[in-house]
Structure 1
Amino acid sequence: MKTVLVAGATGYLGRYLCAEYQARGWTVVALVRDAGRAGELAADRMVEAQATRPETLAGAMSGADLVVSALGITRQRDGLSYRDVDYQANLNLLTRAIQDRVPQFAYIHVLNADRMAGVPLVAAKSAFVRALQEAPIRSTVIAPSGYFSDMTDFLSMARGGRVWLFGRGEARLNPIHGADLAKATADAVDGGVAWLDAGGPDVFTQNELARLCFDTVGKPARITRLPDMLRRAAIRILPRVAPARIAGPAQFFLTAMGLEMVGQRFGTHHLADHFRRLHADG
């Protein structure tokens, strides 16, 4: 029986990765900061460690056949930066994996990272990907187009009665459910795929996504399209006027809004169904 260590196991995707590998018959080791606060995980055991402190990783990967890292931060806290976590903590995991002779390492990146080099969150991830690709270990990089969980902001705007977009709202995206991404990740790793741009089964323009949200909440579609120059200006200004914990996620969101975020289509979960469940649950 093979063993996988999942880093970032308590995050949105990490939980699905644990469940996917356990369903495939792997022994799943979940790397967590605090087992008492991790909640229920589909894991055979939990290992408490802080990837930002490499000395705590000793022994965590013993006997592992694979490390899958979905480790990263979207909001800065505990005084840690994107460089501390998305780059250095993952580098600590990679270094330990090589020391412990783990044969494979998979990492969850972001689609279109090469077009978001000025975004600190993405720059830190890209720096780690370069280190991973140069390391003496078989690697797989998964670059998702966006998660279903990221789309709830649009649904919240529709509930409020108006969705705000930039430009013509014709940029396309195909976000993917965590369960579908976990399956695509495991399949790519099994197949020895070096890089995979992954998205969900349904492709939307931003206008179509907004209308889907209004249909879900049962309100007339009120979409305001702001000049795209405002989006570009906000990306430049935010780091000067807002703390990093606010500017960082906003820069990423605003930059992605100006790009085609469409990956290879995977999965069976549909965003419309996801929105209906969220709305029904209030």
Structure 2
Amino acid sequence: MNDILVTGATGNVGRHVVSQLAEAGIPVRALVRDPSRATLPDGVQAVRGDLTAPETLEPALRGVDAVFLIWPGFAAETAEPVVEAVAKHARRVVYLSAHVPAAGDDDEPTIFHQQVERLIRRTGMAWTFLRPSGFAVNTLGWADQIRQGVVRWPFGAASRSLIHEKDIAAVGTHVLTSAGHAGAAYVITGPERLTQAEQVRVIGEAVGREVRWEDMPPQEARELLLASWGDPGFVDGALRGWESFVTSPETITDTVEGLLGRPALAFRQWAEDHAADFR
């Protein structure tokens, strides 16, 4: 098997894809901005490149058979040249996409990811799209408040099927190393729904601290997010998404179990795996 290139190779999902491929004895390249600073498993080749600068990708892609594509943010202006560069070298691509949070629309990706998916479909490469539910790892954003014992955030009753980043990586690794996935778009989720308030309680139990939830008015949260994220459209879209989960809880699928032969990891397992991050 020729090399597999993993983008976002030191991130929450990519680093697990890299390590799982390496453990399976698969030749793997890790795309990083600075190879001298990357900490990677033995046998993994660090290659320089940046998806926001598509002209840097050519050397990293030479001789590659497949690409696990994770996008760093939503740099839409570089989507087309990046996909073209990948298609020039790779036979297939596994793209970490997303799905829409609105009820009844869970099989469709968000607008940015729709654009990237369309570009990939047009290339003629064999493709597989992974469309995960909310990332459990995003709850690390509550870490400082968890340490203080109170989490203030909007929509405590929003119910989500958060997925462990290890499960996303395991599905990606399975798809990259087995046949029969070309043209598939997999919606992958955790095995259960928990409200945001329940997520906070579970994290507190994992770290041995009582933590309570306090609902924040959405307008106050909007002001905080605008200061942090800057993009009003992105902020308002996120708030609408969280609000929608109050009345229309996030979908649960059995796709992880169907592909891996084991249940998806529960949020409690994620919280225990990351307990040190909240202490």
Using the size of structure 1 for normalisation, the TM-score is: 0.76
Aligned pairs for 1:109-124 (under 5 A) are 109-112=97-100, 123-124=111-112
CA contact (8 A) 2:192 2:252 kept: no
Contact 1:66 1:105 in 2 (8 A): yes
Q: Describe the shift of the 1:188–1:91 C-alpha distance in structure 2 as closer, same or farther (beyond 3 A).
A: same
- Pick closer, same or farther for the CA change 1:145–1:44 going to 2, 3 Å: same
| Alignment of structure 1 residues 227-266 onto 2, 5 Å | 230=218, 242=227, 244-245=229-230, 250-251=235-236, 253-258=238-243, 259=245, 260-265=249-254, 266=256
**Residues 105-126 of structure 1 deviation map (CA, whole Å, 9 limit, x = unaligned):** 11111231678xxxxxx54333
What is residue 34 of structure 2 aligned with on the other side? 34
- Conservation of the 8 A alpha-carbon contact between 1:13 and 1:182: yes
CA distance in 1, matches of 2:45, 2:216: 49
Query: 2: distance between equivalents of 1:91 and 1:114?
Result: 27
Give secondary structure in 2 for the equivalent of 1:65: strand
Residue 244 to residue 51, structure 1, CA distance change in 2 (3 Å):
same
Which residue of the partner structure matches residue 22 of structure 2?
Answer: 22
Structure 1 residues 218 and 61: alpha-carbon distance in aligned structure 2, compared to 1, 3 A threshold: closer
Q: Which residue of 2 aligns with 1:60?
A: 60
Q: Name 1:176's counterpart in structure 2.
A: 163
CA contact (8 A) 2:17 2:169 kept: yes
Unaligned runs of 5+ in 1: 74-81, 116-121
Give the match for residue 275 of structure 1. 271
C-alpha RMSD of matched pairs (Å)? 3.2
CA distance change for structure 1 residues 250 and 14 in 2, over 3 Å: closer, same or farther? Answer: same
Runs of 5+ unmatched residues, structure 2: 104-109, 257-262
Identity %: 24
Q: 1:186 to 1:276 in 2, by over 3 A?
A: closer
Secondary structure at the residue paired with 2:14? helix
Q: Which residue of 2 aligns with 1:91?
A: 80
Could you tell me which residue of structure 2 aligns to residue 79 of structure 1? none
- Give the counterpart of 1:192 among 178, 181, 186: 181
For the 8 Å contact 1:10–1:38, the answer to whether it is kept is yes
Distance (whole Å) between structure 1 residues aligned to residue 273 and residue 127 of structure 2:
36
Q: Aligned residues, how many? A: 259
C-alpha distance in structure 2 between counterparts of 1:247 and 1:166, whole Å: 17
Q: TM-score under structure 2 normalisation?
A: 0.77
Distance (whole Å) between structure 1 residues aligned to residue 97 and residue 46 of structure 2: 24
Structure 1 pair 276/186, CA: closer, same or farther in 2 (3 Å)?
closer
Give, as a single letter, the amino acid of the residue that structure 2 aligns with 1:151.
T
Which letter does structure 1 place at the counterpart of 2:267?
L
